[in-house]
Amino acid sequence: MTVLDELPVPAAGTSAHVVSALGPLVSAEATAEAPGTALEPDDLEQAVWVRLLERLDGDGPPPDTARWVRTAVRAEARRARRTAARELPYTTDPSTDRAGDPACTPERAVLRSERRRTLRAAVARTPGNCPRLLTAMLSPQDPTYREIAGTLGISQGSLGPMRSRCLGCLRRMLAAEVAAPEHLGKER
């Protein structure tokens, strides 16, 4: 017997029935899991409701609804933690983001710009399809492997080995241009 069967609600099988039957359980589970995630309890609860309603539209209610709710809340919490760990804040104006940061001096900005220019120049000198591949991988739009493979007209499976060869070539080119520092930070 499921939680849905235990509550007598006039319109059984409707969304209102599901919400009234599982509301307290979903709310309690979401409130318990939310502190470990980057989500508010209400956002976590909403994500679980969406998953449950998608399930009801397709397969019908799960056999053990209470267990399914607990599992779904934990799965959404894990997804939120993974997403929060991978996301970086995006700022359009770096000067407003790092106003008091000593690493944001004009000298460091010039050095970063010079490194980017050197990298882009080296990418342009790589052989074969490497310039197109490396430029696509350095793109600020952050395309997926599938998008890069489609743009280059190659199979997605050959993209990894090609990327490895191109990065090796680029590494060798940059190592020849930039002198490696000696032991204890002394430069040649």
Residue 67 in any domain: the answer is yes
Same domain, 25 and 65: yes
Q: Mean of the per-residue pLDDT values for the chain?
A: 77
Last residue in a domain, options 86, 118, 142: 86
pLDDT digits (tens, 9 = 90+) for 66-99: 888 888 888 888 888 888 777 766 655 555 555 5
Give residue 44's pLDDT band: very low, low, confident or very high (50, 70, 90): confident
Residue 19 burial class via C-beta count within 10 angstroms: exposed 0-12, middle 13-18, buried 19 and up: middle
Which H/E stretch holds residue 17? helix 15-33
Residue 99 in any domain: the answer is no
Distances (CA, A) of 132 to 67, 114, 123, 152: 50, 21, 9, 7
Residue 161 in any domain: the answer is yes
Same domain, 7 and 68: yes
Domain enclosing residue 143, as ranges: 106-179
Same domain, 118 and 73: no
Residue 7 in any domain: the answer is yes
Residue 36 in any domain: the answer is yes
Give residue 186's pLDDT band: very low, low, confident or very high (50, 70, 90): low
Residue 136 in any domain: the answer is yes
Residue 92 in any domain: the answer is no
Output the pLDDT for position 11. Answer: 41
pLDDT digits (tens, 9 = 90+) for 119-131: 888 899 999 889 9
Give strand ranges (E) for 25-95: none
Residue 187 in any domain: the answer is no
Alpha carbon of residue 175 to chain centroid:
31
Average pLDDT over residues 11-38: 75
